[in-house]
């Protein structure tokens, strides 16, 4: 039996009603183990750091999470209440939400990321071209301007899961115009295709 400090059990007490009396001691141990374990916060890591890797109840701790009969939404409400009491005991509470930490996947997201990366690379090339003494690079620099803008606009939209009407056609048209300008200046651009998935 692991004895926990009274101040710690006092903080956790708000979560006790969410669990049955039978599993509550195990929940407290998992929380302590998760706080103490370095690296990934898995059940195994939590039990290992507490010296309970060989505990005969090992499987019971896993079942506590994979047969969740408790509500994570209610637990988040309790956590928010505790955080507000600790950091904003009075006065207005202002929340800033940012969905960019949400992991997004899919062909559109990959394409958007690729376009934003390409846009950044072209911006770097434009800076070099603008400061170079080469008349050819300075001439091509103007054509890269609209290309960068289109890539950024389309890439941002794709990363957000949107496919703007005519966005790809406009980017293709700008790309072809830039290639024609480069070819007319005696510096043809060779296409290099990269697989980024199908739309």
pLDDT for 102 equals: 57
Give the contacts of 14 (CB within 8 A, at least 6 positions apart). Answer: 78, 81, 82
Residues 116-152: b if buried by 16+ CB within 10 A, e if exposed: bebbeebeeebeebeeeeeeebeebbebbeebbebbb
Domain positions in the chain are 6-87, 102-184
pLDDT for 47 equals: 85
pLDDT for 95 equals: 72
- Flag residues of the chain having pLDDT under 70: 1-3, 68, 97-105, 107-108, 191-199
pLDDT for 198 equals: 46
pLDDT for 101 equals: 56
pLDDT for 197 equals: 47
Q: What is the DSSP string of the chain?
A: -PPPPHHHHHHHGGGGGGS-TTTHHHHHHHHHHHHH--SS--HHHHHHHTT-TT-TTHHHHHHHHHT--S-HHHHHHHHHHHHHHHH-SSS-------GGGS---SHHHHHHHHHHHHHHHHHHHHHHHHHSS-HHHHHHHHHHHHHHHHHHHHHHHHHTT---TTHHHHHHHHHHHHHHHHHHTT-PPPP--------
State pTM to two decimals. Answer: 0.44
CA pair distance 43, 26, nearest whole angstrom: 11
139-157 pLDDT, tens digit per residue, is: 777 777 777 777 788 777 7
Which of 22, 25, 45, 18 shows the shortest CA–CA distance to 33? 45
CA pair distance 51, 197, nearest whole angstrom: 46
Give the contacts of 38 (CB within 8 A, at least 6 positions apart). Answer: 45, 49
Please say whether the beta carbons of 154 and 171 come within 8 A.
yes
100-131 pLDDT, tens digit per residue, is: 655 666 766 777 777 777 777 777 777 777 77
């Amino acid at each position: 039996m692991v004895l926990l400090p009274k101040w710690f059990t006092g903080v956790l007490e708000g979560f006790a009603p969410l669990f049955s009396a039978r599993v509550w001691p195990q929940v407290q141990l998992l929380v302590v183990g998760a706080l103490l374990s370095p690296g990934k916060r898995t059940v195994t890591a939590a039990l290992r750091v507490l010296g309970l890797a060989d505990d005969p109840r090992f499987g019971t701790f896993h079942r506590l999470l994979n047969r969740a009969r408790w509500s994570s939404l209610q637990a988040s409400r309790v956590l928010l209440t505790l955080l507000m009491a600790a950091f904003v005991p009075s006065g207005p509470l202002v929340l800033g939400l940012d969905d960019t930490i949400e992991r997004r996947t899919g062909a559109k997201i990959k394409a958007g990321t690729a376009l934003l990366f390409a846009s950044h690379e072209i911006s770097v090339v434009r800076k070099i071209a603008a400061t170079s003494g080469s008349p050819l690079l300075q001439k091509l620099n103007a054509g890269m301007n609209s290309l960068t803008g289109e890539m950024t606009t389309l890439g941002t939209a794709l990363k957000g899961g949107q496919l703007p009407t005519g966005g790809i056609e406009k980017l293709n048209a700008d790309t072809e115009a830039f290639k024609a300008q480069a070819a007319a200046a005696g510096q043809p651009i060779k296409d290099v295709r990269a697989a980024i998935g199908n739309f």
